[in-house]
Structure 1
Amino acid sequence: MELKRIDCKLTVCKVTEVSSINLESDLYFIGKTDEEVSLVCKTEDTPINTVERDDGWRGFRIQGVLDFSLIGILSKLSGILAEHKIGIFAVSTYNTDYILVKEENFERALNVLDAEGYTVV
């Protein structure tokens, strides 16, 4: 399985509303529930109206489109990283899964996954 690194710094935050989110950016995830509006975005695109924010994330995605019948892909990746004491923040889209790790663990996470047989590009 091929993993593609995302070559930018990311921020995970909560915002008061969505109007200040840069929807022109090529990378962002918005999650809205009855309790919050969460955003993952490039650090330089973080809106001013954040309620809370956590900078210093890096990420990679599973390359290709994952069929919904595939089971355990995210679980296996997160399990490998957990065994090496690397915490994650996962985001799923219709096509695939994205895994974020803190910047200080990024290269180590990719090296661990490479050693487990994943191809990192």
Structure 2
Amino acid sequence: MKIKKIYQDFSVCQVEDYSLVNLDSEYSFIGKTDEEKSLVCITSEVPSNVIRRDDGWKAFCIQGVLDFSLIGILAKVIAVLADNDISIFAVSTYNTDYVLIKSENYQKGLDVLKSIGHEIVD
């Protein structure tokens, strides 16, 4: 499997609403429940109406379009990282999965994935 590095710094946030979110950004992930409105975005694009934020995340995606019939792709990646004491924050789009790792563990995470046969691509 190919793991594609993303060269941006990310923040995980809670926001009051989505009115100030840059939906034209290269990366913007929103999630809403009855209790909160969440946003994962490029750190330099965190909106001013943020309630809470956690900076210092780096990301990669599983390259290629993942068919819905595929089972366990993200689970396998997460399990390997967890076995190496690397916590993650995952988001998914229709096509693929994105994994965020705190900056201080990012290279270690990539190295672990490479050591078990995943190809790391730019």
Shorter-normalised TM-score: what interval?
A: over 0.9
CA-to-aligned-CA distance 1:27-59 (integer Å, 9 cap, x gap): 110111111110000000001111110000000
Where does structure 1 differ by over 4 angstroms across 4 or more consecutive aligned residues?
none
Tell me which residue corresponds to 2:3: 3
- Shift of residue 23, structure 1, vs aligned partner: 1.5
Percent identity over the alignment is 56
Cα-to-partner distance string for 1:47-95 (whole Å, 9 max, x where unaligned): 1111110000000000000010100011100000001000000001100
How is 1:1-121 mapped onto 2 (pairs within 5 angstroms)? 1-121=1-121
TM-score norm. by structure 1 comes to 0.98
Q: How large is the RMSD of aligned CA atoms in angstroms?
A: 0.5
Q: CA separation in 1, counterparts of 2:74 and 2:26?
A: 23
**What is the distance in 2 between the residues matched to 1:27 and 1:99?**
13
Where 2:112 maps in the other structure, the secondary structure is helix
In the TM superposition, what is the alpha-carbon distance from 1:112 to its structure 2 partner?
0.4
Residue type of the alignment partner of 1:109: G
Q: Give the unaligned 5+ runs of structure 2.
A: none
Distance (Å, rounded) in 2 between the aligned partners of 1:104 and 1:68? 32
Extract unaligned runs of 5+ from structure 1: none
